[in-house]
Amino acid sequence: MEKELIASLMDGSDREAAFRRVMRLYNERLFGVIIGMTRNREDAMDILQETWIKAYQAIDKFRSQSSLYTWLCRIAINTTLSALRKPDVRSELDEGLEDFSMSPQQLALRNESKEWIQKAIESLPEKQKMVFVLKYLDENTYKEISEIMNISEGAVKAQCFHAFNKVKQFMEEHYPDKEATHG
User: Which range is least confidently modeled, 26-30, 109-113, 150-154?
Assistant: 109-113
> What are the structural domain ranges in the chain?
2-85, 104-181
Calculate the alpha carbon distances from 146 to 43, 79, 151, 154, 157 in Å: 26, 18, 5, 9, 9
Give, for 92, the enclosing helix (H) or strand (E). none
Highest-scoring range by mean pLDDT, 52-61, 93-102, 111-120: 52-61
> What was the pLDDT predicted at 4?
82
What is the spatial distance between Cα 13 and Cα 40, in angstroms, rounded to a whole number?
A: 37
CATH fold of 2-85 reads: Rna Polymerase Sigma Factor; Chain: A (1.10.1740)
Q: Please give the pLDDT value at position 90.
A: 44
CB count in 10 Å sphere of residue 54: 15
Which of 162, 156, 128 lies closest to 142 in space, CA to CA? 156
State the Cα–Cα distance between residues 51 and 71, nearest whole angstrom: 11
Q: Is a pLDDT exceeding 70 seen at residue 5?
A: yes
Distances (CA, A) of 119 to 88, 113, 142, 152, 171: 19, 10, 24, 28, 9
Residue 179 pLDDT > 80 = no
Q: Which run of H or E residues covers position 117? A: helix 104-122
Q: Once rounded to an integer, what is the mean pLDDT over residues 172-178? A: 70
d(CA 76, CA 21): 18
Residue 173 has pLDDT above 70, yes or no: yes
CATH T-level fold of 104-181: Arc Repressor Mutant, subunit A (1.10.10)
